[in-house]
Amino acid sequence: MSAFSIRLARPEDAEAFHRVEDDAAALLLEAPSLEGIPIPPTASARDHARTIARGRSLTATVGEVVVGFAAAEPMRRELHLHELSVARAHQRRGIGATLLEALVIDARNSAFRAITLTTFADLPWNEGFYARHGFVVVENFESHPHLTQSLDRAVALGIPRERRVAMIRFLG
C-alpha cells in the first residue's frame, strides 16, 4: 500500500481531476445493475477548474501524482459534494474515506451545517459508502433546492429518478 497525502486542491489539479474521474467512472460502465442506464458525463477540466476556484475541493496524491479528489462548493450554509473520485489503481486503500472525512473537518471548521450530495441509489460504492460515513437520505427537499436541481439534471440525462438519491451529513 502506497502512502498518500491530502491537500487543498490547486488550479493546476483540474486536468488530473478530469483524468481521475474518467478512470473511476469506468466502474459505472462495468456495473451490471446499470446496464442500459445512461451514465452522466464526467466534468471537464474547465468545469473542475471552476469548482477548484471556489476553494473547497481537496486533492489526494501519491508522491506528486493526483490519485483522487473531492470536488465541493458552498450552497448557502451547506457544502455540496459534486464528485468524489479515486483512480481505480488506488481504490480500496482508504483514500476516498480519508478525502470525505477531511472534507467534513474542513466544513465543520468553516461553520457549514451539512454536506450534501446526489449519487446512485443502489451501488455499494455510492449510497452504501456514504451511508457508512454518516450520510442519510434526504426526504424533504424544501430547504435543499440544489439537490432537487441535481436530481432533475440526472433525470434529464435519461437516468430513472428511482436510481438516484440525495443524501446529507449533518455536522452539528
* pLDDT surpasses 70 at 114: yes
Q: What is the mean pLDDT of residues 34-46?
A: 89
pLDDT for position 124: 76
Share of the chain above pLDDT 90, in %: 75
DSSP state of 123: -
DSSP 46-104: HHHHHHHHTT--EEEEETTEEEEEEEEEEETTEEEEEEEEE-GGG-SSSHHHHHHHHHH
* pLDDT surpasses 70 at 84: yes
Domain boundaries, the chain: 5-170
Q: What torsion do the CA atoms of 50, 4, 99, 21 make, to the nearest 10 degrees?
A: 50
Q: How far apart are CA 111 and CA 108, in angstroms?
A: 5
Contact of 55 with 72, CB cutoff 8 Å = no
Which residue type does 105 have? I
CATH superfamily label, 5-170: Gcn5-related N-acetyltransferase (GNAT) (3.40.630.30)
CA distances, 170 to each of 81, 87, 153 (Å):
13, 28, 24
